[in-house]
Each structure stands twice: as structure tokens, then as C-alpha cells.
A and B are shown apart, each in its own frame.
Chain A
Amino acid sequence: MIVTRGLACQYPGGAVLRFPDVAVPQGGTLLLRGRSGSGKSSWLALAAGLMAPSAGEIAVAGQALRELGPVQRDAWRARHLGFLPQKLHLSPALTVAGNLELVYFAAGLPVDRAAIAAALLALGVAELAGRRPRQLSGGQAQRVALARAILLNPQVILADEPTASLDDVAAREALALLLGTAQGCGATLVIATHDARVVVAMPQAQVLDLDRLPET
């Protein structure tokens, strides 16, 4: 569940971006739509607790982020948020399983190998656990990154441009996988995209159109 009220962020130059209020129920989907520089990344950063709003409130997974200090925000993000970046950022120094182990390292938790195996199995890439990222195809890498995002059963998954640079078929598959995975773990899904195909493919999702925001 994500609820915002009067949310705004101020950029270093002084410009302030005010976002419309949203209320996304648990398990729902929100599309942040807009061109580059429209504020998608800022909204994601606010939702991830990486940036403090200059005004307004944001509550994610039932937690008002303003109430959390920096250390608590890191811990909260580790336990409640899954993240799928556009560049998948699978570390070449580690195997697929090692990349998933990073989630536990970041959260300061002991590694749960059974959970890693289960996540890879759920995404259909269990047999790739021992491979290096350079040995994966694009689709396989995306599945591994998604497995990493859902490993700790997050309540919210933030996906940044998941279909960028994919052809139509691959984009459709990626969205289906993302949606199916989020539904499978009951997570709220937020997709930041400038890809019109995503809006078409997800008619049931709430859309926050950032191209029409007034900047003050």
C-alpha cells in the first residue's frame, strides 16, 4: 500500500515539483508515466526513502517515512522494498546465487540458501545459480534480478523502466513476469516508465502521469 498527500520535492536549483496524491492498495499497481526528467526517479527515491520530501507525506507499506531516521529507513527498505533497476546491476564478481546473497548482506541478515533456491525456481532460473552474470541472456538476467527483488518477500516492488530497450515480445513477457511475480507475493507494484506499451498492457493499473505536472 502506498499513500501520498501533498508530496513535493525541491531540486538543488530551487525548482519544486509537486506530485498529485495517490493511494495504491496493497497488491495494486501504479504506473509512473513520463518522459526523462519528468520526476519519475524523484518519486521512486521518495518512495524508497532515499530522499526526504520538501513537503507532504508519503506512507509506504503502512509506514510514514518521515517518522524514520536514516538508519531505520535503510533497515525498513531492506525488509519491505524490492527493487528492479533498469540496468540490472548483477555484479560480475559474483555468481547468480552470490548476487542474491547480496540482499542478505545489505539487510544484515544471515543467508537463507533455501529461500534463494526457491526464488530462482519461482522465476524459472534455478539451474543458473552457479553461473556468472556474463553467462546469462538478457531475459535470464532480468529473471535473476527479479528473483533478487522478491527474495525477502517485499510489500512493495519498485521497477525502473523494466521494458526499455526490449522488443514487443520481450517487453510483454517482462511485464507479465513482473506482474505475476508481484501478485504471487502480494506486493504493491510501482513501475516507472516512459513506454506507452506498458500503459496499454496494464489497463487495470493506476497511472500517475508526470508529464503534466506543474513545476514551480
Chain B
Amino acid sequence: MKLLQLSWRYLWARPLATVLNLLLLTLGLAAITLVLLTRAQLDRAFERDLAGIDAVVGAKGSPLQLILSGVFHLDVPPGNIPLREAQALAKDARVAQLIPLSLGDSYRGFRIVGTNHDYPAHYGAQLAQGRLWQQPMEVVLGHQAAQATGLQPGQSFAGAHGLADGGAAATHAAHPYVVSGVLAPCACVLDRLLLTATESVWEVHEVAHGKDDDHDAAHEDEKREITLALVRYRSPLAAATFPRHVNTTTNMQAAAPALEITRLLRMVGVGTDVLRGFALVLLLSAGLSVFIALWSAVRERREDLALLRMLGAPPRRLAALLLCEAFWLAALATGLGLLGGHLLTGLLGYLLAAEQSLPMTGWLWLGVELWVPALALTVAVLAALLPALGAYRMEAGQLLNSR
């Protein structure tokens, strides 16, 4: 009989203890896997969506709120800024590119973003169907938004006022958008947006809020606003002066995404650290439980082990038998823990997708997950060391004295 086979049989000779130990180890490992997967995807999402954006200019208020609303479309923007002032910034020698974004409406929870063609180009977005918008009230759907809404090029819809799931909110039924195209998946923030011309947002809102036809176009431009602007610097040196210039000489603020996201991740990091700590406590409990189970097994099987010694098994083989039981627990818990962690991440992704939030998937395998079996094996082997030593020191002589 092989060592692995015998240890497997001994393991399942105590099914309740084995299942409980397995459960504890699995819970700990699943929690660790969840932390690894979510943290990695969070980092990737932030990194991807932030790429090439040096500053976000918007209304004064919380800089983090400005970044979350303008770059990741996760929060409401602090307010609007005058178009003229944003245009003036675009002419600043330090600015290589300024992309205007106008927010305010949504369709079935997906934000309608008024912008120009530089915005999809910034993320290297490709069209899957149709074409980009060529005139106001034409809209291009992000991949996830198209899938969720089922809209196709040529179809029209009315946006709802507000950025939350706007099914019940007031709709701009008089000004329907027409879908001109659908973007291919870019694994970036565009996937969950509906993109249109900035003029579309003005048109909908100026009409909705009572446009006075008597005003001339110049006066209209004077009054027009956008929500925020994404800025790319001509040189990294601009980071030292541009935000200060905006913050002190205008009624706007310039926020540095890298800075704010570092701050955010530090805050999120506390949460993940707590979860990771919790998982480690679970693993520690599991290790203790495995130790108690194996220690009891050695005590219960004292005479079995002594008999094996009597039959000629060397001490190292008895120790290996105990270590193999721990190995089985680690192997099973690794499989179940990884599976559980991925399923939980998938569930989290499903819930986040329902809220049009950050993309998260359980169908992702990271190199760092190799730590999970290593961790499981370490915990199990550490827990099995003393029992294995007990088995190693088992004297066959006690068999001769047992009555």
C-alpha cells in the first residue's frame, strides 16, 4: 500500500474531524484568494483607467470625488465648470490635451457622457459595430452597456436625468438619442459608458431647462458649462505648477489622479488588510484544528503506529504518514479554497456589474495565487510537525505491554 493511499484512508476514517478541518482551511484560503483577486483587479482597473491622465479639472470640492466621478465614473461630480475657462486651460502651454466631459444623464444606470472623439481615442477603443457619433444626439455604447441594454445601432432611447439607475427618474423623452455604434470591449471604463457629443448634453438640458431662442450663440457659449476635463501634460514638469495655477487663479480645482488614488488605495488597503488579517486568523485556527486532529489521531492510533513499527516500518515512514494526512488536507483545501475564492469574486463581480461599478471577474488566474497552495501546505505541515514527531518516536515496545 502506498503512503498517499494509506494516509487518505486514515484521513477519512475520521470523517467529521476531516470535514471540519477542511472547512476551516478552505474558508481561510478562499478569503485569501478573494483578497488577492479583488485587490489585483482593483489595482489593474485603476491603473488602466488612469493611464495617460495627469490631472482632472472640475468644480471646487473634494478632489477624490472629482477623480472618482471623472475618471472612474463611480461618484457624482462636485459641480460644473464654465466651458470658456476650460477652453482657456486647453490653450495653456503646459497642456498637451484636454478632453471635456459632461455628465448628468444616464440610461438604465449607464452614464451618458458628453465628450469629443479624443476620449475613446485616449483609451484606444475600437468599434465593434457602426461608427462614432458624427452629430449631436448620436451615441456610441460601451461593450458592457450595449450588452446590458440590448441596444443596437439605429435604435433610439431617451436618457434619464441623474446618474443613478434612472428608470424611475424624469426622462428626456423629447430628445431621444440614436445609437450610431458599439465599442469593442476595452476592459476599461468606456465599457460601461454611453458616449455622445458634448453638444448633445447641452441640447437636452438647455431645452429641458428652457432655452431662450432670442439669445445669440456667443452669449450661449458664455453660459455653457461642462462637468470636468481630463488633462494630459506636455511635460511631467507641469505637475509642479499647473494644479497650483488652476487652484489659485480660477474657480476650478485641478486634482492629480495618481495622488488621490494612492490615498484611496491606502484607505481601501485598510479594508483588504482587515480581510487578509481575518483570513490569516482563520488559517491559524485551521492550523490549530489540524494540529489537534492529527495529535488526537496519533494518540488514537498509538497502537496502530506501534504495530507498524513492529512490522518493520521505519520511524520516518510513520512520520511521513502523518505528514501525508496533512498534505491531503492542504491539497483538498487548496482546491476548494481557490474554487471558493474565485466563485466569491465572480459573485462580487456580478453584484458590481449590476451597479455598473468596477469590473470584477472570477475567471482570472494570477501568478500570486501560487501562494495559496504554498500557504496551505505550510499551515498543514506546521500543524503536523509535532504529531509527526510523536509518530516518529513511537516505540513498538509498548505494543508488547498493551493488554
Contacts and interface: CB of A to CB of B under 8 A. Distances in A.
Do A and B pair up? The answer is yes
Interface of A: 41, 44-45, 48, 50-51, 71, 74-79, 81, 83, 85-87, 89, 91-94, 98, 101-108, 111, 160-161, 164
Interface in B1-31: 1-3, 6, 9-10, 12-13
Contacts of A164: 403
Main secondary structure of the interface of B (DSSP, over half): helix
B9 A98 contact: yes
Contact of B317 (A51, A81, A106): A106
Contact of B303 (A51, A78, A87, A105): A87
A111 B310 contact: no
Contacts of A111: 1
Contact of A44 (B1, B400, B402, B403): B400
Interface residues of B, number: 29
Nearest to A104: B1
B158 interface: no
Interface string B381-403: 00000000000000111011111
16 contacts: A45-B400, A74-B309, A74-B314, A77-B310, A79-B312, A81-B312, A83-B311, A85-B402, A87-B303, A89-B306, A89-B307, A98-B9, A102-B6, A105-B3, A105-B317, A108-B317
A48 B307 CA distance: 12
B310 A102 contact: no
A103 B307 CA distance: 10
A92 B400 contact: no
Given A50-B395, A89-B303, A106 B313 contact: yes
Nearest to B313: A106
A169 to B, nearest CB: 22
3 cross-chain pairs, A with B, having the tightest CB-CB distances, nearest first: A78-B312, A93-B13, A106-B311
Q: Which of A41, A50, A71, A98 has the most CB of B within 10 A?
A: A50
Contacts of B307: 83, 85, 89, 102
A48 B9 contact: no
Nearest to B10: A93
A76 B310 CA distance: 11
Given A78-B311, A105-B6, A107-B311, 4 more contacts: A41-B397, A45-B397, A50-B395, A106-B312
B92 interface: no
B47 interface: no
B18 to A, nearest CB: 12
A75 to B, nearest CB: 6
Nearest to A192: B400
B222 interface: no
A75 B399 contact: no
B312 A85 contact: no
A105 B308 contact: yes
B304 interface: yes
B24 to A, nearest CB: 22
B403 A87 contact: yes
A178 to B, nearest CB: 17
Given A92-B13, A98-B9, A71 B314 contact: yes
B308 A102 contact: yes
Nearest to B400: A41
A187 to B, nearest CB: 15
Contacts of B10: 93
Contacts of A106: 308, 311-313, 317
Contacts of A83: 307, 310-311
